[in-house]
Structure formats: C-alpha cells, structure tokens
C-alpha cells in the first residue's frame, strides 16, 4: 500500500491528513529527490537540493510545506492576516504550474482550511492586493518581481507584517532565478522575511551564484545532490540525437523530420534562438504542415503564454515553437520530441531544453541540428555536460520536400504579405546576432558560418543590410529567379498598408522617407543596457513616489490649516534683485562706493 511506501521517511513522519491526501491522489512511490529532501525539511533543516529536470522536485517541497502548515494549524489556527509559506518561481508559467499542483492538494477536505494565491506579473498589482486582503491566503506562489513590489508597497496591505510567522520559503529553479538577474530582488525579499523559518532551494544545476545565494538565504543547509546516473545530467529514458545539415537545408530537414512516420503523430517542442525567429516560423510553418496545429510562445507575449501552453497540453499532435522562456519547469509529460534549431547560448541550457521530454519516468527523444562547422559541439557536450549524442538515422519518407520547391513557396509567401518578409528579415538578423553571443564561441564561430546559405534557409528575397555581411561569406545566397522591388511589396493588413502608402506619399512630396526618431548608437552590452534601463525605471518610480508623498503631505497640511505660508512678498523679491545688481556693479568698479552707499541707503558714520 501507498502508506507503507511512504514509511521510508525518517522521523518525524507525515501526519494523517497529508498522508491521506497523498494516498487518495495516487502517488505510489517517491522519487530519489523526494525521499532525500522531505525527511530533512520535516526535521527542521534548511535544504539545498540539486536534481535533474523532471525528477519530481515540485512534490519534494509541496509535501513538507503542507505538513509544516498542518502541524502549526493543529497547535493554533492561522489567522486571516498570516502567510505561512511562500514559493518563488522564475517564470509565470512555472508559477502557474506549481499553483495548479498545489490546488489539487487543497481541494481535499482535510486541507480545505488552507488557501493559496498566485501572484505574478501581467495582472494589476491593485487586483493582487485586493485578492490577498479578501481571500487571506496561507500560501503565496509568485514570481520575484511582483513579490518585491508587494513588499515595498505601503498602505493597507502591509505584506511584511503578514509574513512575520512564515514557516517555509521555497526558491524553485534557483539557478534560473539568478540567470534572469533576480539576485538583488531575492536579497531584497529575504530582508523582509523572518530568520526563524525553513528554506528549501531547488535547482537542476549548482552554480557559483546559487552557492552565494545558499550562504545568504539558508542557515547551515544540508546539500542534497540526486542524479539518476553519476555520469548523466539528463533523464535516464531520454534518447539524444544530432543531425549535421547545411544552413540552407535546415528548414527542409525539419519538415522532412516532422513528416516522418515515427514523428507524424508526436507532440513536439521546437526551440529557436530568438523571439523574432519564433514569430517568423510560426507565420510560415502552417503553410507547409496544414494537418498539424502550430503554436508559438516567447518572452514578449506576456499574457498570451498561459493560454498557448494550455492549448498545447490538450492537443495530441501539436507543435510548439518557443524560446528558452519554456526551457525550465514546464511539465507536459506527453511531449515526445524536443527539437533544437541550433545550439543554445550556453551548455547548461541544452540540458534544460531536452528535459522537457522523458519526464516522470516516460520515454522521450531530443534532436539538435548542427552545421558542418559545429560538429565539435557533440564532443563538447559529452565533456562539459556528460551528455551523449547519437547521429540520427535517416528514415524513408514517401514525399520528401526539396530545396527548390520550398524556396519558391517561401518567396511567394513573403511577396504576398510584406509583414512576413519583415518577420523573415528580423528573424535572420536576430539569429545571427544571437549566434555571436554563444558562450562556447571557440566552436560556434560566426566566421565559420556561410551567411549566404543561412539567409537562403530563411527564404529571404534579398540579403539584408547588416555590418556582419561586409567581411563574411555571402556568395551562396539563393534568392528569387527574378528581381523583386521590396518597396512595392504590400501588407495584407489594411491599416499597415495605409501607413505604408502615407509614407510613400510623404516621400514623393519631400524627398525624405519618414522614419521614427533616430535612436542613439549603442556602445554598451545588452546586459548593461538592460541594467541601466531597470535603474532608470527605479529612479523614475522613486521620483514619482516622492512627488506623490509631497502631494499627500500638502493636502493633509492644507486640510488642517497648517500649510506653510510664503515668507517673502513679491516686492521683497524685486528689492533683493535690485540690491544684488548694485553689488555686482560695485564689484566690477562700474559705480563708486559713495554711489553704492547712496543707492543702498547706507549713511557714513
């Protein structure tokens, strides 16, 4: 029975309500990370757990969390203004996923006295405050930015006062939290929390930054490292493959692979390097795969991402195009294949990407496309991440896509709608610039890439203008057989087309093409630019808050009749200005001492 399976826990054991809920939900066996972390957390220790993706880390902290809150509830009930646990997650999708799993527990009558609240960006912060005040949650599942905002808000909420009796703090995907630049935010949040709490830090990899966070946020933590094999960082039942392809044939190989018999009915995730790449291929791919549902999501979509993921969960043969925003934490056990358009920006991201499949003991496969100049990446992954890649065997496909037909179709799509042409150019340019930022730049070198073939692979009508093209190889670009006048391409969207026509008209009248305000030339890195932008935003908010406080203070003083009056009249100010002018003339010897004394009304003694 399940109750016997869970007796592997060291004392103190789980209490009746939590164990009954686990049994009713059908969790028959604990994973290694759960068996290691749960007893330690229940024995009042801080825990830093490292385990491969898909190993059950969510239950490893949800079970002890509910147990701690239940024990405290049995001693003295939680008041409506007390928060007992906080779970911090790096992305909205992962926070929403944790919230869904937690809600499955809280639906049971043994735990109905606990309430949770999902606090993430995208919603109005005023609505979040109202929900906390109205629903009085015992557990907060949140992203760090929004939680910090709530702590810093002064007013009726007083979140810092609600967490004074906090029992448990969870930092999920801690390495990703730090990768996204939340180190300062996390430290600010920790300053509001009581020291007498339990803390669980869960991540797939232990980095130097994570170690620093352990020192700052955990007290004498127990380090738990659980791997399915000492030499493997990816799930045990995951098969990793690679395929060497030319840049101009990458899209063709992808189409042929998706049409192959073994993959035709599979649920697939495809990772692209940038948001612009996702948008372009999502606009193009449905024209080639009309029988498949093509979905897309990336970091700039914000509020739409959750709906896309929910739809992806429900559809059996869906293909999801995405960026690294979904490389962590997404738990869709039915994903059969993970495909990578090209190597990720760092080696650890490879492990997180392929970890979206072969989850919870299921089988899964992953494929990465590599250029002929990138073949050394296979050996690099074996040494750096202990990941073994095998070459993908070619399958016999009845209707294979060829380069000429595919290019004709891509060219036709771009000529039919200028927005697709614009997306294609942005995708190519962003891809090339992202390629220059690879951490593994000893192997993944832009100078080794044939940019002509790469642009051909995107089906561009012409080579775009960019600095990289001046010194690198572009001879192998294949465009349309006829010359295309880009200025004559029209938008299918009537509003966009009207704006374009207005610009053409203005150009004919003035001889100048109307453009947006010229942006300043960037002389700093993307990371520094983003940091400066955040600093500027913070300063702007501080000025706004200062102005608001002054306005409120003035209103209070005016109401009480204590508003400060001016000390000087207009006549006094004018006289002062006149005296100052006389003094300046005296200093420059333009008037004598006698004249100065006379004008100032100073009598000689």
Q: How far is CA 149 from CA 85, 141, 155, 178, 490, in A?
A: 18, 14, 12, 18, 45
Closest CA to 29 of 361, 364, 363, 362: 361
Mean pLDDT of 173-179: 82
**Range of weakest confidence among 34-43, 341-350, 590-599:** 590-599
pLDDT at 320: 96
* pLDDT, mean of residues 132-154: 91
Phi, psi of 52 (to 5 degrees): -60, 155
Burial class (CB in 10 A: 0-12, 13-18, 19+), 329: buried
Query: Which runs of E-coded beta strand occur in 345-470?
Result: 364-370, 390-391
Three-state DSSP class for 127? Answer: helix
Lowest mean pLDDT among 10-14, 183-187, 491-495, 573-577: 10-14
pLDDT of residue 292: 93
Please say whether the beta carbons of 331 and 361 come within 8 A.
Answer: no
Q: By CB neighbour count within 10 A (0-12 exposed, 13-18 middle, 19+ buried), where does 398 fall?
A: exposed
Burial (Cβ within 10 Å: 0-12, 13-18, ≥19) of residue 350 = buried
Task: Please report which confidence band the pLDDT of residue 386 belongs to, taking 50, 70 and 90 as the band edges.
Answer: confident
The whole-chain average pLDDT of the chain stands at 84
State how far Cα 87 lies from the chain centre: 17
Lowest mean pLDDT among 25-29, 69-73, 157-161, 574-578: 25-29
Structure tokens at 20: 């009954």
Q: What separation in angstroms does the CA of 497 have from each of 463, 487, 503? A: 23, 12, 10
Taking each helix axis from N to C terminus, what angle separates 57-75 and 32-42, rounded to the nearest 10 degrees? Answer: 20
Asked if residues 189 and 160 have their Cβ atoms less than 8 Å apart, the reply is no
Band the pLDDT of 603: cuts 50, 70, 90: low
Q: How many CA atoms lie within 13 A of 545 on its CB side?
A: 10
12: cis peptide before it, omega within 30°? yes
The pLDDT of residue 471: 76
Cα 478 from Cα 532, distance rounded (Å):
41
Asked whether residue 145 carries a pLDDT value surpassing 80, the answer given is yes
526 preceded by a cis bond (ω within 30 of 0): no
Least trusted range by pLDDT, from 141-150, 351-360, 544-553: 544-553
User: For residue 405, how many C-alpha atoms fall within 13 Å in the half-sphere facing its CB?
Assistant: 8
| 414 HSE (CA, 13 A, CB side) | 25
- Tens digits of per-residue pLDDT, 418-434? 999 999 999 999 999 99
What is the arithmetic mean of pLDDT over 531-546? Answer: 70
Region of poorest pLDDT, from 266-270, 356-360, 443-447, 596-600? 596-600
**Model confidence band, residue 18 (pLDDT cutoffs 50, 70, 90):** confident
Of 207, 146, 203, 219, the C-alpha closest to 171 is 203
Q: Is pLDDT at 124 greater than 60 in this prediction?
A: yes
Report the C-alpha gap between 54 and 32 in whole angstroms: 12
User: What sign results for the dihedral spanned by CA atoms 149, 152, 155, 160?
Assistant: positive
Name the band, by pLDDT with cuts 50, 70 and 90, for residue 538.
Answer: low
User: pLDDT grade, residue 534 (50/70/90)?
Assistant: low
- When pLDDT is averaged across residues 515-534 and rounded to a whole number, the result is 59
pLDDT at 604: 52
What pLDDT is recorded for position 531? 65
Contact 380, 354 (CB under 8 A): no
Q: Are 428 and 456 in contact (CB under 8 A)?
A: no
Contacts by 500-506, CB closer than 8 A, 24 or more apart: 500/418
Per residue in 44-53, pLDDT (tens digit) is: 899 998 877 6
pLDDT at 409 (0 to 100): 94
Model confidence at 415, pLDDT cuts 50, 70, 90, reads: very high
Give the mean model confidence (pLDDT) for residues 331-356: 89
Give yes or no for residue 183 having a pLDDT over 90: no
Residue 518, pLDDT > 50, answer yes
Instruction: Look up the pTM and report it.
Output: 0.69
Q: Per-residue confidence at 116, pLDDT binned at 50, 70, 90?
A: very high
What pLDDT, in 10s, does the model give residues 188-202?
999 999 988 999 999
Residues of the chain with pLDDT > 70: what percent? Answer: 87
Q: 29: which 2 tokens?
A: 């066996």
* pLDDT number for residue 550: 78
d(CA 577, CA 581): 6
User: What is the signed CA dihedral for 390, 50, 107, 143, rounded to 10 degrees?
Assistant: -100
Asked if residue 1 has pLDDT above 60, the reply is no
Q: Which residues pair with 589 in a beta bridge?
A: none
Write down all domains in the chain, each with its CATH number in brackets: 4-225 (3.40.50.300), 238-403 (3.40.50.300), 405-494 (no CATH)
Dihedral pair phi/psi, residue 107, rounded to 5°: -70, -20
């Amino acid at each position: 029975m399940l109750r016997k399976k869970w007796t592997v826990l060291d004392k103190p054991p789980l209490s009746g309500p939590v164990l009954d809920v686990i049994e009713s939900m059908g969790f028959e066996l604990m994973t290694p990370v759960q068996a290691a972390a749960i007893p330690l957390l229940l024995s009042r220790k801080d825990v830093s757990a490292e385990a491969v993706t898909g190993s059950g880390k969510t239950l490893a902290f949800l079970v002890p969390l509910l147990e701690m809150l239940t024990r405290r509830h049995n001693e003295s009930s939680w008041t409506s203004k007390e928060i007992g646990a906080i779970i911090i997650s790096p992305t909205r999708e992962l926070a929403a996923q944790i919230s869904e799993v937690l809600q499955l527990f809280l639906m049971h009558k043994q735990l109905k006295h606990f309430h949770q609240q999902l606090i993430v960006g995208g919603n109005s912060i005023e609505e979040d405050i109202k929900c906390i005040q109205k629903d009085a949650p015992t557990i907060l599942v949140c992203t760090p930015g929004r939680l910090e905002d709530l702590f810093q808000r002064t007013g009726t909420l007083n979140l810092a006062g609600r967490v004074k009796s906090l029992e448990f703090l969870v930092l999920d995907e801690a390495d990703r939290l730090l990768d996204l630049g939340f180190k300062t935010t996390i430290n600010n949040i920790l300053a509001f929390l009581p020291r007498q709490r339990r803390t669980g830090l869960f991540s797939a990899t232990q980095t130097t930054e994570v170690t620093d966070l352990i020192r700052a946020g955990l007290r004498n933590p127990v380090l738990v490292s659980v791997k399915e094999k000492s030499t493997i960082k990816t799930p045990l039942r995951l098969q990793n493959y690679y395929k060497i392809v030319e840049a101009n044939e990458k899209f063709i190989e992808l189409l042929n692979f998706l049409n192959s018999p073994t993959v035709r009915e599979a649920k697939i995730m495809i990772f692209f390097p940038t948001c612009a790449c996702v948008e372009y291929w999502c606009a193009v791919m449905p024209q080639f795969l009309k029988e498949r549902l093509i979905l897309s999501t990336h970091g700039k979509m914000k509020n739409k991402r959750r709906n896309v993921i929910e739809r992806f969960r429900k559809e059996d043969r869906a293909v999801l195009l995405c960026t690294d925003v979904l490389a962590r934490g997404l738990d869709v056990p039915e994903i059969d294949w993970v495909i990578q358009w090209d190597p990720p920006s760092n080696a650890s991201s490879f492990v997180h990407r392929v970890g979206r499949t072969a989850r919870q003991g299921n089988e899964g496969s992953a494929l990465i496309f590599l250029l002929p100049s990138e073949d050394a990446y296979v050996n690099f992954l074996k040494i750096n991440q202990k990941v073994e890649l095998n070459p993908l065997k070619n399958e016999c496909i009845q209707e294979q896509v060829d380069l000429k037909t595919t290019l004709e179709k891509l060219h036709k799509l771009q000529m039919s709608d200028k927005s697709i042409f614009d997306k294609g150019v942005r995708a190519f340019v962003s891809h090339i610039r992202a390629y220059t930022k690879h951490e593994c730049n000893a192997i993944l070198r832009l100078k080794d890439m044939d940019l002509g073939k790469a642009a051909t692979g995107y089906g561009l009508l012409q080579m775009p203008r960019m600095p990289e093209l001046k010194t690198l190889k572009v001879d192998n670009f294949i465009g349309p057989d006829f010359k295309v006048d880009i200025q004559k391409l029209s938008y299918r969207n009537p509003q966009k087309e009207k704006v374009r026509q207005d610009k053409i008209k203005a150009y004919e009248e003035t001889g100048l093409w109307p453009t947006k305000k010229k942006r300043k030339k960037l002389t700093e890195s993307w990371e520094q630019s983003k940091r400066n932008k955040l600093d500027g935003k913070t300063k702007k908010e501080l000025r706004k808050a200062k102005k608001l406080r002054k306005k409120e203070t003035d209103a209070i003083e005016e109401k009480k009749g204590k508003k400060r009056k001016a000390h000087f009249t207009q006549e006094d100010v004018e006289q002062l200005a006149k005296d100052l002018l006389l003094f300046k003339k005296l200093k420059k010897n333009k008037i004598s001492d006698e004249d100065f004394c006379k004008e100032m009304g100073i009598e000689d003694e």
